[in-house]
């Protein structure tokens, strides 16, 4: 293969720098969420699945895939577009990692530079019933940028197909309902500038809350598989009646469901986390990973990884920006089902493909 190696260039260094910048801003990226890509000579470098954008400069987390065959697969309904692993340029893939599950939409976007992240300001607007009006109002301040909205679809090929349709008009910004945002451009500078301006345009005010009561939370958590959220600002979900009502109304975006599940527990006055757990066990029900102790704070399951814990912070940032009395559009039960059974779905498809190959 005679491809020039983009990784040796300053452009690639800049790409990694922008990636880690996006990944280091908690208001843009939480845990392994978000992904960036850069296309060059038919090859796209995209963040690896499960890795943290924040580590883009410190670790080898970009995976090379061939663009055109992947886009054709997406258009043709070829199931290999879902994981995109069959489109990896193996001889360049130094990390040996798999590309992000969101790789196919990066490929479908025509611009060379694409940044997708879970901007809490964008999500807080993109879950409102009147989101079209609200977003149009905010985006008026960046009137030189073209933008579109994308209806909610499960990440992977369902979302990529919607984005592929919208990509034909080459929008600069795509706002994904109940999910996040995509900012694209021809150069890294252009994308960095657009991110800054769009972030400003969408910025919302966070509702004030009382402070968490960590001593009481410690006492309530004792002897249970829960601990008070370690991140101070994560507690805000529990510290205002409006925040609690919005958070308990349903699931707002996919990463919350994938990491924290569809249920948030609420402790009654005087109830300990251990009692709450025991009561659910007796009823044969699953114990949620996140518990709200009204006006005290948030307890998180000790089974959560760092990537799961940070989802509590994301929820706090999103619900805190949704104005009280807003009508919120939550994910439907079938959306939730799709997300919670996603692994099984992928596994089944993998098995299917395996058996098809054996037959071939
Ligand atoms: Zn995403």
Q: What is the pLDDT along the chain (360 residues), one digit of tens a residue?
A: 555 689 999 999 999 999 999 999 999 999 999 999 999 999 999 999 989 999 999 999 999 999 999 999 999 999 999 999 999 999 999 999 999 999 999 999 999 999 999 999 999 999 999 999 999 999 999 999 999 999 999 999 999 999 999 999 999 999 999 999 999 999 999 999 999 999 999 999 999 999 999 999 999 999 999 999 999 999 999 999 999 999 999 999 999 999 999 999 999 999 999 999 999 999 999 999 999 999 999 999 999 989 899 999 999 999 999 999 999 999 999 999 999 887 655 555 555 555 443 333
Task: Give the Å distance between the CA of 9 and the centre of ligand 1.
Answer: 28
State the pTM of this model: 0.93
Side-chain-side CA neighbours of 173 within 13 Å: the count stands at 29
Residue 16 has which token pair? Answer: 């990694």
Task: Give the Å distance between the CA of 44 and the centre of ligand 1.
Answer: 18
Residue 103 has which token pair? Answer: 């790789």
Task: Give the Å distance between the CA of 255 and the centre of ligand 1.
Answer: 8
Do 238 and 298 form a contact (C-beta atoms < 8 A)?
yes
Phi/psi at 176 (5° precision): -95, 115
- Report the pLDDT value the prediction gives residue 350, as an integer from 0 to 100: 53
Task: Give the Å distance between the CA of 178 and the centre of ligand 1.
Answer: 10
- Report the pLDDT value the prediction gives residue 38, as an integer from 0 to 100: 98
Long-range CB contacts (within 8 A, 24+) of 355-359: none
- Report the pLDDT value the prediction gives residue 342, as an integer from 0 to 100: 75
Task: Collect all residues with Cβ–Cβ distance below 8 Å to 213 and sequence separation of at least 6.
Answer: 295, 296, 297
Distance CA 93, CA 274 (A): 47
Do 127 and 204 form a contact (C-beta atoms < 8 A)?
no
Task: Give the Å distance between the CA of 258 and the centre of ligand 1.
Answer: 12
- Domains belonging to the chain, first-starting first, are 6-202 (3.40.225.10), 214-359 (no CATH)
Task: Give the Å distance between the CA of 154 and the centre of ligand 1.
Answer: 10
Task: Give the Å distance between the CA of 225 and the centre of ligand 1.
Answer: 29
Residue 351 has which token pair? Answer: 């098995």
- Report the pLDDT value the prediction gives residue 356, as an integer from 0 to 100: 41
3-state class (DSSP) for residue 199? helix
Do 185 and 116 form a contact (C-beta atoms < 8 A)?
no
Distance CA 108, CA 102 (A): 11
User: In angstroms, what CA-CA distances link 163 with 96, 166, 201?
Assistant: 27, 5, 22
Task: Give the Å distance between the CA of 102 and the centre of ligand 1.
Answer: 7
Task: Give the Å distance between the CA of 159 and the centre of ligand 1.
Answer: 10
Side-chain-side CA neighbours of 233 within 13 Å: the count stands at 15
Distance CA 328, CA 131 (A): 9
């Amino acid at each position: 293969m005679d491809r020039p190696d983009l990784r040796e260039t300053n452009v690639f260094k800049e790409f990694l720098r922008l990636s880690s910048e996006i990944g280091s801003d908690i208001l843009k990226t939480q845990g392994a969420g978000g992904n960036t890509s850069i296309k060059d000579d038919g090859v796209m470098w995209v963040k690896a699945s499960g890795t943290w954008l924040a580590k883009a400069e410190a670790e080898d987390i970009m995976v090379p895939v061939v663009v055109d065959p992947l886009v054709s697969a997406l258009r043709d309904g070829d199931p290999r577009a879902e994981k995109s692993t069959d489109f990896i340029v193996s001889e360049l893939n130094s990390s040996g990692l798999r590309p992000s599950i969101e790789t196919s939409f990066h490929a479908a976007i025509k611009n060379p530079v694409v940044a997708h992240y879970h901007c809490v300001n964008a999500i807080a607007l993109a879950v409102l019933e009147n989101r079209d009006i609200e977003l149009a109002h905010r985006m008026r301040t960046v009137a030189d940028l073209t933008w579109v909205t994308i209806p909610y679809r499960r990440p992977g090929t369902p979302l990529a197909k919607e984005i592929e349709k919208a990509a034909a008009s080459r929008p600069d910004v795509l706002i994904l309902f109940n999910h996040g945002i995509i900012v694209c451009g021809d150069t890294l500078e252009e994308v960095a500038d657009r991110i800054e301006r769009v972030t400003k345009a969408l910025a919302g005010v966070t509702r004030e809350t009382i402070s968490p009561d960590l001593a009481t939370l410690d006492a309530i958590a004792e002897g249970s598989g829960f601990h008070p959220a370690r991140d101070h600002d994560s507690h805000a979900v529990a510290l205002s009646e409006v925040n609690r009502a919005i958070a308990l109304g349903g699931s707002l975006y996919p990463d919350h469901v994938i990491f924290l599940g569809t249920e948030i527990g609420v402790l009654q006055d005087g109830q300990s986390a251990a009692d709450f757990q025991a009561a659910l066990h007796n009823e044969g029900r699953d114990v949620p990973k996140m518990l709200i102790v009204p006006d005290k704070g948030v307890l998180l399951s000790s089974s959560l990884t760092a990537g799961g814990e940070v989802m509590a912070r994301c929820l706090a940032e999103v619900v805190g920006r949704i104005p009280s009395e807003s009508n919120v559009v939550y994910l439907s039960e079938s959306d939730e089902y799709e997300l919670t059974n996603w692994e099984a779905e992928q596994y089944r498809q993998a098995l299917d493909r395996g058996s098809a190959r054996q037959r071939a």
